[in-house]
Amino acid sequence: MAETTGSGIGRLGMSRRVTLFTLISKARSFMIPDSHVDLLSWESKTVANVATIGPDGEPHNSPVWFEWDGTHLKFSLTTGRQKYRNLQRDKRTSLTVVDPDNLYRYVEIRGELEGIEPDPDIDFISRMAKKYLDKDRYPWHREGDERVIMKIRPTKVSGMG
């Protein structure tokens, strides 16, 4: 892990202390630093901004509900979504989770799609609805939606704060 600590002046002229880190792994499992694992915890209501590469090479970025299981970052999509098509074509992705209480603190996870699991009974997205909305069942399911769970294996983690 490479880590740099320094101080600087924020945009609003406030003094702040920042810690930068970068972790790279080719291993099958990956550890998130203790200093930032709370951003990925079940108790955290933060979303992950997921970036993929579009068909013409342009970036595609949008927020998703997610779950971190200690090995994979998982999120739900329908198979008609652009993000799903993008990850089918190019498995590389980047996800950023920002601390809502300190916008200078975040974790970025770069990784690759390692698997797609069907979610025909919408169990996973309903679990996310419980986490984010405190609802037992995902309220926006539409007839004909084909839900899947995207499993991202981290290859590089960096962050600040």
Instruction: Give the pLDDT of the chain (161 residues) as one tens digit per residue.
Output: 444 434 333 444 444 444 555 544 444 445 788 889 999 999 999 999 999 999 999 999 999 999 999 999 999 999 999 999 999 999 999 999 999 999 999 999 999 999 999 999 999 999 999 999 999 999 999 889 999 999 999 999 999 98
Q: Using CA atoms of 134, 140, 143, 145 in order, give the dihedral in degrees to the nearest 10.
A: -90
Q: Is residue 3 part of a domain?
A: no
Residue 4: the pLDDT is: 40
Q: Is residue 106 part of a domain?
A: yes
CATH number at residue 72: 2.30.110.10
Q: Is residue 7 part of a domain?
A: no
Residue 32: the pLDDT is: 83
CA distance 4 to 22: 9
State which residues form the domain around 130.
25-160
Question: Using an 8 Å Cβ cutoff, are 57 and 124 in contact?
Answer: no
The residue among 21, 90, 32 whose CA lies nearest residue 66 is: 32
The residue among 117, 109, 108 whose CA lies nearest residue 151 is: 117
State how many domains the chain has: 1
